[in-house]
Structure 1
Amino acid sequence: MKQIFALLSGLIFGIGLIVSGMADPAKVLNFLDVFGTWDPSLAFVMGGAIAVTAPGFAWLFRSRQTPYFDNTFRVPTRNDLEPKLLTGAAIFGIGWGLGGFCPGPALTALPLAASGTLIFVPFMLGGMWIARHTPDLTPKTKEGTA
């Protein structure tokens, strides 16, 4: 049952990405082009998503002790900003801005077989593989030292 709801959630998410235009890199790039052909419609998509999700999460956490298909809610507990996180976010943002794709919409647009998608997705997957298989180069500190 868990897999069926995961599949349905993914399908609804993908349909939402296509309907909202987030799977169209030209629309995304126009959103990022603030001083040119700026298209603010994706801000409304994001705002709408927040307006629906925030009350939903608030209701869910108040009404249930555990999720429907797991033993515990898996909510991030860390709130620090480390250089590795900031560097990764910057690389992600630059790639998103250059390609006009975020990973979710890129995979959603893959069946359309547009040349940009066919180039972006393999490079995105390659970057994910490199990130997973690259050793952590951040300096380790011993307990009690900074």
Structure 2
Amino acid sequence: MKYLVREKAFAVGDDYWVEDEDGRHAFLVDGKALRLRDTLDVRDPEGRVLITLRGKLFGLRDAMELERDGHRLALVRRKRLSLLRNHFLVRLAEGTELDVSGRILDREFKVEYEGELLALVSRQWFRLRETYAVDVLREDADPALLVAVAVCVIRMAEKEREEG
């Protein structure tokens, strides 16, 4: 199932809808304006919070936490010991890890679990610069989590680019 993400450039609060391949609202990415640390909620169409993304305030390396129902779901960090510059590691609460690699800022990357492809993120099918697709390849995968991971690594890569 493909999910179409249309980011709004320079939007206050960074709110935007993610649609399914039939054009229906699937998730709302709800940015929290005027917060000390980077916070986003991924909501369902009825407004219920599915996953919260929070930037960590302190630490040696930039990281973002993904939470579900107030509990840590995952921690996302740049993978340091990698030949690829655009390589992130998502450590899930139960101990498994997802590997995110590719051209993050170009919105051309993949999400894998133990070498198995879970999702492809690409803007190759779209002419609009702020639009990309998250193609969830496994039926048993959590689409909200994979969309949240895509939003998270893009946000982290952009922040790193801005900081120099």
The question of a shared fold, defined as TM-score above 0.5 by the shorter chain, is answered with no
TM-score range, shorter chain: under 0.3
User: TM-score, normalized by length of structure 1?
Assistant: 0.25
Structure exhibiting the larger radius of gyration computed from Cα positions: 1
Q: Greater RCO between the two (CA within 8 Å, min separation 6)?
A: 1
* Structure showing the higher helix proportion among its residues: 1
